[in-house]
Amino acid sequence: MCETGQVRKDLAAALERVGHAFASYPRRAVLDGCPHCAGETPVDEHDLFSLSIRLGNTVGDRDDVKSLLPVLFRSLVEADDLDPGIVLGKLAHEEWRTWPPAEQQAVDQYLDAVWLALLSDFPSRTGVFGGAADFLDAVAHTGEGIERFLTAWDATGGVAADRQLASLVNDFAFRARRQNEALAAWLCRESTRDRLLAAFERDCDSPWADELADAHDQISR
């Protein structure tokens, strides 16, 4: 099986683990809501995007969030009608690092699998995630840092991962996004520059050689 096929298989397995981890939370047909702003909400009568905005805020409780996570997580990678920051923000809102270890592990494995799926292809599209930048922006809403995903990127070689890196560098507004200090510092490391240079030397005759060269020059200034 090719690398891309394997990571897609791993993503499917991660979705199954999420389903198993949260299967004990019953999915209610009607969710309780704030009587002043929502009231009872029939789940089947609401589109998933609208429900994702209200879920855990004005509609439903923590158990309802958990019961719907498998649906939300699957939709993130199979459709394009959700806001990933809103969905992943539910984790921080519901203090997911206080959840049982098996549930935390299922979420971690899902995020890791999505990330590796994105890095395995270029151009990449995994549901709502159009590439590395989309994922890193969204995963920051979990309430945790992005460092573990950057470490995984360091360990993931190949043309696709290198082109994802070049794309991120070339689209990254360093002055406007200084608030993302962890990512800016990672991009400006000598090892990142060396990686882009090596990628350019490897692919100097390719149609994307200029992308790699531009990215290297951008972070070498």
Print the domain residue range for 122. 3-156
Q: Which of 156, 171, 189 is the last residue of a domain?
A: 156
pLDDT at 174: 63
Q: Who has greater pLDDT, 216 or 28?
A: 216
pLDDT at 107: 98
Give the 3-state secondary structure of the chain.
CCHHHHHHHHHHHHHHHHHHHCCCCCCCCEECECCCCCCCEEHHHCCHHHHHHHECCCECCHHHHHHHHHHHHHHHHHCCCCCHHHHHHHHHHCCHHHCCHHHHHHHHHHHHHHHHHHHCCCCCCECCECCHHHHHHHHHHHCCCCHHHHHHHHCCCCHHHHHHHHHHHHHCCCCCCCCCHHHHHHHCCHHHHHHHHHHHHHCCCCCCHHHHHHHHHHHHC
pLDDT at 36: 53
Q: Who has greater pLDDT, 42 or 201?
A: 201
* Least confident span in 52-56, 144-148, 210-214: 52-56
pTM for this prediction: 0.90
pLDDT at 60: 75
pLDDT at 181: 80
Q: Is the pLDDT of residue 175 over 70?
A: no
pLDDT at 59: 76
pLDDT above 70 as % of the chain: 89
Regarding whether 111 and 210 lie in a shared domain, the answer is no
pLDDT at 2: 45
Regarding whether 188 and 133 lie in a shared domain, the answer is no
Report the number of distinct structural domains present in the chain. Answer: 2
Regarding whether 67 and 101 lie in a shared domain, the answer is yes
